[in-house]
Chains A and B, each alone.
Chain A
């Protein structure tokens, strides 16, 4: 794809199929959910790569594959040039330290019986970093960095608001000084005024610690705000990848166009003038995805070829910035 050395992470032809258990609706032969189906992308050091798409398109599965919480059916994951699916246990430990995650739900992801201090220091414990005394200092310092009062180290999650809990989750992810943080819907559960606080905090931390983010969300406005480049997913596939600005100003894939058009902008004058295209139909099930291009049943531009052949992700950019799209009629307005 692009020169290797700048890429902190590179994913190639990653696949994850979940086998359906024999149940009352689906019999054995019905096969599998193609949650992630042959996707490739890279993330450059220090950038934020956004991954958007509607519910069930496979975003969280990508996150879990990268964290090696799931085993892929096929594909390669290169971290600093090394295929982490092939490395030994000892190196894996180091990888686990360098990659951290922030989850969507600050309520569910923090154990109610642990103090804030315990939660934030758990990674130190697991990775046997620092002695007890310097740990406390480290925790307090990290709490301060994320805008929490270091004196609250002995309090419990229920004593905090949603936004504060998300700060605890960020502190926990930050304490080992990771390189890459995977953020899976980090602000979706928060109120808008608090979302903005957390987004700003994340951007500040990125600058301060030279962090790389994989930012997963279904809210394209939020993803665009934080990301340098964005990948759009539809039913287990990446259908378009582009620099954020360009994805908005020159979308090439009809699904991206529909998605952009579906999002109302908080500016009434502009909304009154804006031409909207409403994509018809429902998001199909990933169990038996449509043939050919998976988007074709909902696509206003679909032709015969679209139901027969699967379009490849191709680069349409004329400069160094890749702009990939998987569509036979990329760029044609819908």
Chain B
């Protein structure tokens, strides 16, 4: 992705190269992640957007080594973290990274909270697994963590079980678990989709503040373009398992050169818009990942599609500095010979 190798070594905390994760099912091969490339810089929030089934979660789970094999299989790729390819590590060594240096916040907090243990127990357990400190110190650390995630009445809360918490508090508790061992990368997969709007805002602010405080990096997965606009500095847009555009936040919103991204942006209403402009939806629906169309997977829905689009998949090209797109017509958008309407 980055041509300048020496530079990328300095500032990239994570590099994902040509990642492919397939599922072998009775109905055929599901190409859930099919050639994902990106790098993550220290201290940034990288957004991943795309509609349901586009491969966002599988990308995250592959990075964390959480794909069940079989039916899953990592077909190809490298995940370079701290100079090592995580895909080449033995399970035992991987444990050191997962949930420790790279950790995850899920949409459903109960995927990482255990209903039969108190929040305190789970926090202390997680700290002691990765840090050589005394139980007493771990207890103090757990209290500090609850403080950091904004849970008041901490001593009592340590003794509570997850079900005694509200949805927002559970999410906070899970975030406390996720940051317990000061990870360098926090992957947040739709961290607030199940929460109320005002609570969503609290949790997203919390994640952002923690990131700034600890100078860690965040991969923020969401289908909400507003959340992306607010928190991400760069964005990868995925469609049917493939990254179709990758750029800075401003280029994605104001200078997109991929019809799918343009379509997504045209599909959402903006709260601040005064005159009611009619939404411009993308026609049709995303394809089945088993039965992908020949050529560009977006071509059947694309109003700009030309002959070549139906014949081969366009390679991802850096059309301008830091701005990648997989579209045969990207150059025309860029030099404005094709209007984005």
Closest residue of A by beta carbon distance from B201: A262
How far is A258 from B250 in the complex, measured between Cα atoms in Å?
26
B320 to chain A, nearest CB (A): 18
Assuming the contacts A193-B264, A278-B201, A283-B198, asked whether A245 and B282 have C-beta atoms less than 8 A apart, the reply is: no
> In A212-228, which residues have CB < 8 Å from any B CB?
218, 220-222, 224-225
> In B266-302, which residues have CB < 8 Å from any A CB?
266-272, 274, 276, 278-283, 285-286
Asked whether, in the complex, the Cβ of B281 is within 8 Å of the Cβ of A194, the reply is yes
Assuming the contacts A266-B228, A266-B265, asked whether A191 and B198 have C-beta atoms less than 8 A apart, the reply is: no
Residue among B223, B226, B281 making CB contact with A264, cutoff 8 Å? B226
Asked whether, in the complex, the Cβ of A267 is within 8 Å of the Cβ of B278, the reply is no
- CB-CB under 8 A from B229, the residues of chain A are 264-268, 270-271
Interface residues of A, count at CB 8 A: 44
The verdict on B230 contacting chain A, using a C-beta distance below 8 Å, is: yes
The verdict on A96 contacting chain B, using a C-beta distance below 8 Å, is: no
Asked whether, in the complex, the Cβ of A282 is within 8 Å of the Cβ of B199, the reply is yes
Residue among A55, A221, A259, A266 making CB contact with B253, cutoff 8 Å? A266
How far is A225 from B199 in the complex, measured between Cα atoms in Å?
23
- CB-CB under 8 A from B268, the residues of chain A are 192, 196, 221, 266
Closest residue of A by beta carbon distance from B301: A193
Asked whether, in the complex, the Cβ of B269 is within 8 Å of the Cβ of A193, the reply is no
How far is A269 from B224 in the complex, measured between Cα atoms in Å?
16
Asked whether, in the complex, the Cβ of B282 is within 8 Å of the Cβ of A193, the reply is yes
Interface of A is mostly: helix
Residue among B225, B276, B280, B282 making CB contact with A266, cutoff 8 Å? B225
Binary contact readout A160-182 vs B (1 if CB under 8 angstroms, 0 otherwise)? 01111000000000000000000
How far is A192 from B225 in the complex, measured between Cα atoms in Å?
9
- CB-CB under 8 A from A270, the residues of chain B are 229, 272
Asked whether, in the complex, the Cβ of A262 is within 8 Å of the Cβ of B197, the reply is yes
A-B CB pair tally, cutoff 8 Å: 126
Closest residue of A by beta carbon distance from B49: A192
The verdict on A197 contacting chain B, using a C-beta distance below 8 Å, is: yes
The verdict on A107 contacting chain B, using a C-beta distance below 8 Å, is: no
> In B310-328, which residues have CB < 8 Å from any A CB?
none
A299 to chain B, nearest CB (A): 12
- CB-CB under 8 A from B285, the residues of chain A are 161-164, 194
A222 to chain B, nearest CB (A): 6
Interface residues of B, count at CB 8 A: 46
- CB-CB under 8 A from A280, the residues of chain B are 202
- CB-CB under 8 A from A265, the residues of chain B are 226, 229, 270-272
- CB-CB under 8 A from A191, the residues of chain B are 51-52, 223, 286
The verdict on A263 contacting chain B, using a C-beta distance below 8 Å, is: yes
Assuming the contacts A265-B272, A266-B253, asked whether A193 and B51 have C-beta atoms less than 8 A apart, the reply is: yes
- CB-CB under 8 A from B267, the residues of chain A are 192-193, 195-196
The verdict on A260 contacting chain B, using a C-beta distance below 8 Å, is: yes
> In B218-244, which residues have CB < 8 Å from any A CB?
223-231
Assuming the contacts A271-B229, A282-B166, asked whether A197 and B281 have C-beta atoms less than 8 A apart, the reply is: yes
How far is A55 from B283 in the complex, measured between Cα atoms in Å?
31
The verdict on B120 contacting chain A, using a C-beta distance below 8 Å, is: no
Residue among A218, A266, A283 making CB contact with B226, cutoff 8 Å? A266
The verdict on A276 contacting chain B, using a C-beta distance below 8 Å, is: yes
- CB-CB under 8 A from A195, the residues of chain B are 267, 281
Binary contact readout A205-243 vs B (1 if CB under 8 angstroms, 0 otherwise)? 000000000000010111011000000000000000000
The verdict on A248 contacting chain B, using a C-beta distance below 8 Å, is: yes
The verdict on A148 contacting chain B, using a C-beta distance below 8 Å, is: no
Shortest 6 CB-CB distances between A and B: which pairs?
Answer: A196-B281, A264-B226, A225-B269, A262-B201, A196-B267, A266-B225
A-B contact pairs, 15 of them (CB 8 A): A164-B285, A191-B51, A191-B223, A193-B264, A197-B283, A203-B278, A225-B279, A248-B272, A264-B201, A264-B224, A264-B227, A265-B229, A266-B226, A268-B249, A276-B201
